[in-house]
Structure 1
Amino acid sequence: MKHNRPAVFQDPEACTDYILSRVGKNIVLGLALGLGKPNHLANAIFNRARRDPSIRLKIITAITPEVPGWSSDLERRFLEPILERVFGGYPPLEYALAVRRRDVPENIQVCEFFFRPGAFMNYEHAQLNYISTNYTHAVRDLMDNGINVAAQLVSAERQADGRDRYSYSCNPEVALDLVPAMRQAEREGRPVAIVAQVNRNLPYMYGDSEVEPQEFDAVLDHPDCEFPLFAPPKESVSTQDYMIGLNVGSLIRDGGTLQIGIGSLGDAITYGLIVRHEHNDLYREILQRTGILERFGQSVEKHGGTDPFREGLYGCTEMFVDGYVHLMKHGIIKRKVYDHPAIQRLVNDGRLQEEITGAVLDQLVAAGAISRKLTANDVALLSRFGILDPQWRWDEGELTNGVLRIPADLDDPKARQALEAHALGQRLQNGVAVHGGFFIGPRSFYEALHQMPPEERRLINMKAVSYMNHLYGDEELKVLQRRHARFVNTGLMVTLSGAIVSDGLEDGRVISGVGGQYNFVSQAHALPGGRCIIMIRSTRGSGAHATSNVLFNYGNTTIPRHLRDIVVTEYGIADIRGKTDQEVAAALIQIADSRFQDELVRQAKAAHKLPADYRVPDAFRHNVPERLEAELGSFRQKGLFGPFPFGTDLTDQELILAKALRHLKDATNGNKGKLFQVKPLLASLAPPAAARPYLERLGLDAPRDIREKIMQRLVTHALAATGAI
């Protein structure tokens, strides 16, 4: 169908009418992962299908943002003001509410290929309609499912000519490959609609994310359809997290490549790398006093290092998290890569520095990248990277800036002298410090991106997931860029064979998804010098309820044992690539919590995976939380390893209350009945004056009934137990 793209709408209902006119009443709607969902448009399409049963709607997406809820009145009192402050104005997604209410209409199907971790474990519609796929296969699977409508948020920026240009901003990772695939399907007869909803709160990202308006069939653009970005607050970083981060940080090699993820573990790694770079003597002392160098020094020396980052790191990551912004700010993420193999090879070899000299011309000739008699393509290449001043252009065998003319012949001494005197650039241009696929994070992250000068923001190139997540296509360039790659991912559990459990339980329920984890694991095995580091918290739960995440075996795995590489827990590093089953089992037991080591040894011996006379070495028999707390305690007294190293959206009062309420929840183990078993004890306890500000915050300073009085006394008890009063 001939049409002028894009059609611009100010009303989601009118845009929905347009979509139906293009594709009909059988809609397969692909929504961007996470932050990039066009909430107003998605809601309009969903509600239209809910009102009209003749419409068949299939939604395919991943990581649906939802404002957190509460499970008790006490949690509501604590969370409600925080949620309004942090998420106020964020429009809920109607399809997610329907899944939560268990009332998805029969003519609507909601499919996800990656759940927000733990969000839909007990929701039948979600579990029935989960699609298991590697992220690099998302476009293929969307096309196989018959996608005919693609919709996502975009940012907009006014150009010098007065026209808007759009940026995929937070989510180019699927769109950059999906749109061409859908246009090809359109040419083959499949009606499609590619739709954008503008939200200028999104940071405008340059590079591959930038697209012309003609990319879209329709654009929804009205101030009423712009809304605050979904911004999950920072998680607190525990001792367990910090120790994992310190172990991981010691495996990162200067001049290398880094992938890290979201959450407290990502913050722990970022924090440890900053300490390593800026307070190196202190960092080495920390590694010595925590025993990391004594027990795992061989792995540190072989794979990583403890020196500051002289050359710096390059980020290659599916998820671009705020940790990269902090690492850029502190001069750690600073190694630039270039999208041309010959240029990148010269940079890697140290023969091409940022400051341009005439010698690079001969080196590029020797590499076969340019000819001695420069062609128009040669000049375009040299100009793109700043080797030639961009004001010079090729014209019929000569270089000209409109005033001077120089023969484009590197063998002509006079021409060569004139070229170097007048046409040579000053500094290498168009380098990239981070390649990312999508982003989501706290409000401070979005603000930092907004405030970055454009030249700094251009160091971050958001690209298709097919670029970051595997080596197919441009293999030579990717291998050159991704030297000493360290792809750091998180798992839930690890078996003694080295298999990783990351996405689901052995009863079949899905917790999250495979996402790109498998892609980075296999890529690490393919890259020369590449390693994949899987972080596993050695235990979950606390006290008598603690269980081990290092298991002999498990009924579901995400990464098979034959792709085992490096596993890190808070107790150390297990380098298990290419090792025998006996060596793997022993290495993993050595970084397990000591409360569970004997049982793991027993199981391994019973399966003939450890010899009958094996015993855990004494150096690894003290893997208990109390030791870690003591080792970090002295450094905490110096102001290090705080719970929120990069800030928080919570007030100091709310942090204290959060700690007290966590203690209360652990003490009752989630059993609400126990709240009332302590009623006689609490009747005689009057809240002290120090508790009043906290009780006022929860609306419990003047209890109106026995239930509120009990909650008041329980909170007071928890505040006292956690040292707040």
Structure 2
Amino acid sequence: MMRNRPLFYENADRCVDDVIEHVGKNIVLALPLGLGKANQTVNALFRRAQEDPGMVLKILTAITLERPAGKTDLEQRFLEPFVARLFGNYPDLSYAQALRNGDLPPNVEVIEFFHRTAAYLSVPVAQQNYISANYTHIARDMMARGVNVIAQLFCDARSGGKTLYSLSSNPDVTLDGVRMMREKERAGKKIAIIGQKNPNLPFMYGDAVVGPDFFDAVVDQPDYYFDLFAPPKMSVSTEDYLIGLNASTLIRDGGTLQIGIGSLGDAITCGLQLRHTENAVYREILTALRIPDRFGPHIREIGGTGGFEKGLYGATEMLVDGYISLYRSGIIRRKVYDDEILQQLLNEGQIGEQITARHLDILIESGAVRPVLTGADVLYLRRFGFIRENWYIEDGFMTDGALRVSADLTDPENRNEFCRHCLGTDLKTGTLIHAGFFLGPNQFYEALRDMSEAERKQINMTSVQHVNQLYGCPYASQRLKTLQRRHGRFVNAALMVTLSGAVISDGLENGEVISGVGGQYNFVSMAHALPDARSVIMVRSTRPKGREIHSNILWNYGHTTIPRHLKDVVVTEYGIADLRAKTDREVIAALLNITDSRFQDELLREARRAKKLPRDYRIPDAFRENLPGRSEAILAPFREKGFFPAFPYGTDFTHEELVLAKALKGLKEEMSGKAIPIPRLGSAIKSMGTPDAARPYLERMKLDNPITARESMMQRLVVYALVSGGHI
């Protein structure tokens, strides 16, 4: 099968036939996380394992995407039209449903290293078959488990008369995994690298671009070109906005930015855009919130509040749509270059993006090129735009095929002629963002596809080894990455933080896994390894649990993701705690200052009992008003002016769906609350009519004309939820 790669297939089952014939019936299948799964090919393999008990199929992956499905009739009525509209013809992964239902055949095993958030809290097999590991170790761990097949989604493009393939959304683990598998192949192991084409993927450049022979087999069937999985944008709460504002003050102009997905990622994006495009308003808001008064030293030392004159460079595990917004706002514009000397000269300000004659002297002085140019020197200069594309060297002379200029730049006259005819105008091949994978809403994919080729070439989709750590990567040296990632600010979200500075991001105290370690530990560790970098952990100060509110800043917890000795900066909606180089007493005091005031006293008592704070220690008065009502009141005038909308980057929900979502959520909480008198609720529903204002919402739920008694009861429930929640 694999002698002349790739072989092309129009049918996934035919491809599976040949894969099994080549590698045998014991298949250890590695799939990219998230978007990059070759769904139809994977389903064909799973189906074959279901039909053949003699076959063994082990699937290694992460973030298995599933279209949302409601558990109750009301949830299903709400979700089904939305899911059909948003996810189109996205094909479900058969193994995911079997895993969730407990129906996996005994010859099939699914192992994940990162769960879709909270997706498998109640699925024992998924909890048992979770691998806790840094993202950068996954390719290695997959090899240790005997991976012999990879199935990856890709897209293609024609360039210079050649067909190129792009791993697009997921070069992250695949690049390293395939390299390791080819080494095993050379040692005699039988493997198969399968690519499934989907032109709906944006063609991304950088290390994601491979030749067709990267794959052993290619499945190309237009009927398989499915709509990309596109999770909807979620609303950004007041707490999220406040966290984003606080975090935005910690980003250094001319530096490096890493952010993640979700409402907190959107919040910091909004904060950065406000800082850059509406700086006067931004400073006014910060002042109203007393952020400079209380945290001014942290801001001055770590970040700033001015606009981004130099711009930022992105080095991020996940390319989120926030980066596109930052790029369009002129914030993501600091380019980095794949050369240590050039990057150092840029960092030092000796050269800039616009090329001048002085650049030649600096390059010669730094040893980047020789004063008498050689062929290698000319290639170097042309690669980065120092000389025009059509000039080359021949017999000691520069020529464009017509003119000839001496390549000996020690002679002033030659140098002047060289600059007049050969010198370029702007640096070329710079990278604005390095990223490992992407996943986002449909508008994000559209934005990537709509970018020009030149714009997309400034985004280097690459290995997670490249992005998430400084060492052990074949794509760039540790020194180069250190130079590129100056003033790194690695901003990640967490669930909870202990008063010792330990961070909980992936699991619960009882051992249940919510998501995974992913790259968070990598970035925290890298922030300590780089000379001028900082790790910023964003955490909401509280969380609801039923009708109760719990603090996310705890005295202690039975599980941690980031140990206390890697503590750095923690941000809540109430402010900034700089924990680096601090004693236990100082760490606790700083975290108490950004804790919700409803929980400060009990945590203070815990610290005193443990003798970590003096018995006479008092939380300063300036931090004793950490209450949500105060923040809401301060932001209200700015909301009236159009700032801080619920969906700053748009939403896939209709107006009716947004209202229904809030109403049904309130109804669910009310009916599950232990203190709610359910008989009284039932009486209220029975006595309630059908207001005209409820009709658009009932039509959306297909409950405007109920036929059965069950539909009539659901109609009354929806009306009750709308009325009791104040929505109509």
Q: Which residue of 2 aligns with 1:580?
A: 583
Which of 678, 681, 686 lines up with 1:683 in the alignment?
A: 686
Question: Whole-Å Cα distance in 2 between the matches of residues 706 and 268 of structure 1?
Answer: 45
CA shift digits 1:39-80 (9 cap, x unpaired): 000111111111111111111001111101112111111111
CA, structure 1 residues 61+672, in 2 after alignment: closer, same or farther (shift >3 Å)? farther
Aligned to 2:175: 176
| Cα distance in 2, alignment partners of residues 636 and 31 from structure 1 | 44
| SS of equivalent residue, structure 2 residue 233 | coil
In the TM superposition, 1:538-617 aligns within 5 A as 538-541=541-544, 544-617=547-620
1:304–1:506 Cα change, 3 Å: same
Structure 1 pair 291–299 and aligned structure 2 pair: CA distance change class (3 A) = same
**What residue is the counterpart of 1:236 in the other structure?**
235
Return the offset for 1:105.
Answer: 1.1
Q: Secondary structure of the equivalent of 2:35?
A: helix
1:224-263 per-position Cα deviation (integer Å, ceiling 9, x unaligned): 1110000000011011111110000011111111011001
Q: CA deviation at 1:621?
A: 1.5
**Matches of residues 278-677 of structure 1 in structure 2 within 5 Å?**
278-472=277-471, 473=473, 474-541=477-544, 544-669=547-672, 677=680
For the 8 Å contact 2:155–2:167, the answer to whether it is kept is yes
Instruction: Compute the displacement of 1:582 (Å).
Output: 0.6
Seen in structure 2, the aligned counterparts of structure 1 residues 377 and 636 have a Cα distance that, compared at 3 Å, is: same
**For residues 672 and 447 of structure 1, do their structure 2 counterparts lie closer, same or farther at Cα, with a shift above 3 Å needed?**
farther
* Shift in CA distance, 462/668, structure 1 to aligned 2, threshold 3 Å: same
What is the CA-CA distance between 1:129 and the residue it aligns to? 1.0
TM-score by length of 2: 0.97
Compared CA separation, residues 160 and 361, structure 1 to 2 (3 A): closer
Q: Is the 8 A contact 1:485 1:530 kept in 2?
A: yes
Task: Give me the whole-angstrom Cα distance separating, in 2, the residues matched to 1:243 and 1:377.
Answer: 52
Q: How far did residue 159 of structure 1 move? A: 3.2
1:281-311 superposed Cα distances (whole Å, 9 cap, x missing partner): 1111110111212211111111111111111
Alignment CA distance shift 1:446-1:657 (3 Å): same
Kindly provide the amino acid, as one letter, of the partner of residue 96 in structure 1.
A
Distance 1:510 1:14, change over 3 A: same
Quote the residue 1:154 is aligned against.
154
Displacement of 1:723 in angstroms is 3.3
TM-superposed deviation, 1:673: 9.7
Give the residue type in structure 1 aligned to 2:435: G
Residue identity matched to 1:21: E
Q: Which moved more, 1:677-686 or 1:167-176?
A: 677-686
User: 1:154 is aligned with what amino acid?
Assistant: F
Residues 151 and 196 in structure 1, CA contact (< 8 A), matched pair in contact too: yes
Which deviates the most, 621-630 or 380-389?
A: 621-630
SS of residue paired to 2:230: coil
Q: Matches of 1:191 and 1:93 in 2, distance apart?
A: 26
Determine the structure 2 residue equivalent to 1:99.
99
Question: What is the root-mean-square deviation of aligned Cα atoms in Å?
Answer: 1.6
Aligned length: 724
After TM superposition, the runs of 4+ consecutive aligned structure 1 residues lying more than 4 A away are: 670-677
Q: How far apart, CA to CA, are the structure 2 residues paired with 1:395 and 1:523? A: 46
Tell me whether 1:113 sits opposite 2:116 in the alignment: no
Q: For residue 170 of structure 1, report the CA deviation from its aligned partner.
A: 0.4
Question: In the TM superposition, what is the alpha-carbon distance from 1:709 to its structure 2 partner?
Answer: 3.5
Contact in 1 for aligned 2:546/2:673 (Cα 8 Å): no
Q: CA deviation at 1:703?
A: 3.3
Pairing partner for 2:696 from 680, 689, 693: 693
Sequence identity of aligned pairs in percent? 56
- Structure 2 equivalent of residue 219 of structure 1: 218
User: Which segments of 5 or more consecutive residues in structure 1 lack a partner in the other structure?
Assistant: none
Measure, in 1, the Cα distance between the counterparts of 2:698 and 2:485.
53
Q: Secondary structure at the match of 1:546?
A: strand
Which one is further off, 493-502 or 715-724? 715-724
Instruction: Please say if residues 679 and 710 of structure 1, whose CA atoms lie closer than 8 Å, have aligned partners that are also in contact.
Output: no
Counterpart of 1:54, as a letter, is: G
Shift of 1:2: 6.9
What secondary structure, in the 3-state scheme, does the structure 2 residue paired with 1:436 have? Answer: strand
- Say whether the 8 Å CA contact 2:276–2:308 is kept in structure 1: yes
SS of 1:27's partner is strand
**Matched residues in 2 for 1:570 and 1:478: separation?**
32
Within a 5 Å distance, the mapping from 1:8-87 to structure 2 comes to: 8-87=8-87
Q: Distance in 2 between matches of 1:648 and 1:702?
A: 29
8 A contact 1:237–1:265 mirrored in 2? yes
What is the SS of the residue equivalent to 1:507? coil
Q: Choose 390-399 or 6-15, whichever is displaced more.
A: 390-399
3-state secondary structure, aligned to 2:556: coil
- Checking the alignment, whether the CA contact within 8 Å between 1:383 and 1:390 is kept in structure 2 is yes
Following the alignment from structure 1 to structure 2, what is the Cα–Cα distance between the partners of residues 670 and 447? 42
The secondary structure found in structure 2 opposite 1:79 is helix
2:86 aligned partner, one-letter code: V
**Which secondary structure does the structure 2 equivalent of 1:420 belong to?**
helix
Q: Distance in 2 between matches of 1:675 and 1:702?
A: 26
Report if aligned partners of 2:70, 2:76 keep a CA contact under 8 Å in 1.
yes
Rounded to whole Å, the distance in 1 between the matches of 2:710 and 2:58 is 45
Distance 1:371 1:675 in 2: 84
Counterpart AA for 2:193: I
User: Which deviates more from structure 2 when the two are superposed, residues 311-320 or residues 679-688?
Assistant: 679-688
d(CA) in 2 for partners of 1:58, 1:683: 53
Q: CA deviation at 1:706?
A: 4.6
- Could you say if the C-alpha distance between residues 671 and 26 of structure 1 is closer, same or farther in structure 2, counting changes exceeding 3 Å? farther
Distance in 1 (CA, whole Å) between partners of 2:556 and 2:635 is 32
- Residue 144 of structure 1 deviates from its aligned partner by 1.0
1:670 & 1:25 partners in 2: Cα distance? 51
Query: How many Å separate the matches in 2 of 1:630 and 1:703?
Result: 43
Whether the 8 Å contact between 1:386 and 1:428 is mirrored in structure 2 is: yes
Aligned pair in 2 of structure 1 residues 364, 283: CA closer, same or farther (>3 Å)?
same
